Amino acid sequence: MRELLVEILTHEATARRMKELPEEAALPQQVRRDLGQLGTVDEDAADVEKRALFSADELATKAEAAMQRRVEAGISDSIEDLNGGVNGGNAPAFDQALVGKRLEVLWPYTDKDTGKRVLIWASGRIARVADGLSDKRSVRAKVVLPAGMLLWAWDADPEFEEPAGEKWLALLPKKWNKQQLYSWRYDPREFSPAAVPQRDERRRNARAMDCDEI
């Protein structure tokens, strides 16, 4: 076994040096044993045999179509995919490193045209992270907020007749990058400043989900 492993590693090193390593893994293919042929193969059998082998391009096309179906069903979206690679898929810590970061929160909203309660991804910037010693909800409040609460500030949105504001939120790590009420994730501008235009068109065209349970 050791000799075989050494042989494999040697072959891999040689292929890498010669720039002959494949860029992607070979797809598993199910190949039938050749037991010979009795009679004549009909057209249906030939068609099945032809489609039994597929290429990486075909698999990528199928995967893209499956992902699009998930997006249309409200199960996933492209921003969720961006956040999937953050911190090994785990929520970032509620510490000072979040200050200044722009987060999206899956927020309850009343559609001004239908009056129906829906969920939309709303964007805001973290203005402060509670230290557990001095932060309160207001000047008159007597209770000190627990450490890790986030002061989330959003911009004015004239189209929705909403002024700028801010709110203390107790976000949960288990709702990081989910599709549930009060889920949260990084705004795409945290990955690339050019990810969305200055006017956040995704807010206007947000995919809204029914939330009758709110």
If you average pLDDT over every residue of the chain, what do you get? Answer: 76
SS3 state of residue 101: coil
Kindly state whether residue 117 falls inside one of the protein's structural domains: yes
**Residue span of the structural domain in which 190 resides:** 78-210
Task: Classify residue 116: in a domain, yes or no.
Answer: yes
pLDDT digits (tens, 9 = 90+) for 39-50: 666 666 666 555
Tell me whether residue 158 is in a domain.
yes
Highest mean pLDDT among 40-44, 53-57, 121-125: 121-125
- Among 105-114, 115-124, 134-143, the range of highest mean pLDDT: 134-143
Whether 204 maps to a domain, the answer reads yes
Q: Is residue 194 part of a domain?
A: yes
Decide if 7 is inside a domain.
no
For residue 121, give both structure tokens: 């991804």
In a domain, 21, yes or no: no
- Write out the E strands in the chain: 102-110, 117-129, 150-154, 165-169, 184-186, 209-210
The verdict on residue 206 lying in a domain is: yes
Report the domain count for the chain: 1
